[in-house]
Amino acid sequence: MEDHNFRTFLWRVVSIHTIVYFIAGILALLFMNYKELFAGDMLSVFMRPVDSPWVAAGPALQVFRGILLGCILYPFRKVFLKGAYGWLTLWLLVFGLSFVSTIGPTVGSFEGFIYTKFPIQYHLLAIPEALVYSFGFSYLLWAWYRNPRKLWTVLSIVLVAFILLMSVMGVLSSLGILNAA
């Protein structure tokens, strides 16, 4: 296992978070009909429509969330980067704290079940995206440290750049500056 210097760890967390968040979001958008769901009576009161500039900016803004995540996880990195099942430890931590046991009543969380008026199907719809993200993030971060390759760094740079470009284009399109062909 290679050294865990802060810059390397931070880049890996930021890039994996951004990439996996983007993939999980696209899959949820395609397979869970977020456009219609977010426009419905229940969710439209607090979810922006999928064609909002803020939603388009979301993937690019995940870089900042990734920085926060990296800074928070760094002191505990040895707990989940070493060991054959470190990814499982990280997955339980990420899934448990960011989805199941959130501080506020979000859709799909324990607090959400108690305090919101959302029907059970709305809470259940949030689970697949959370599982895809938390598993993908946890396993890929752990695996990158288990099998460090320059290829992973290059690929992560290309994918994050692509996501940032797509996000900027989405914002420009939603503002009417960039017209779809």
Q: What is the DSSP string of the chain?
A: -----HHHHHHHHHHHHHHHHHHHHHHHHHHTTHHHHHHSTTTTTTS--TTSHHHHHHHHHHHHHHHHHHHHHGGGHHHHHSSTTHHHHHHHHHHIIIIIT-SS--TTSHHHHHH----HHHHHHHHHHHHHHHHHHHHHHHHHHHS--HHHHHHHHHHHHHHHHHHHHHHHHHTTSS---
Count, residues in the chain = 181
Is residue 163 exposed (0-12), middle (13-18) or buried (19+ Cβ within 10 Å)? buried
What pLDDT is attached to residue 1? 47
What pLDDT is attached to residue 169? 95
pLDDT in tens, the chain (181 residues): 455 699 999 999 999 999 999 999 999 888 887 777 777 777 777 778 888 999 999 999 999 999 999 999 999 999 999 888 999 999 999 999 988 888 888 888 889 889 988 888 888 888 899 999 999 999 999 999 999 999 999 999 999 999 999 999 999 999 999 886 5
What pLDDT is attached to residue 36? 78
What pLDDT is attached to residue 2? 54
What pLDDT is attached to residue 3? 57
Q: Are 162 and 61 in contact (CB under 8 A)?
A: no
What pLDDT is attached to residue 119? 87
Q: Return the domain boundaries, the chain.
A: 6-174
What pLDDT is attached to residue 112? 87
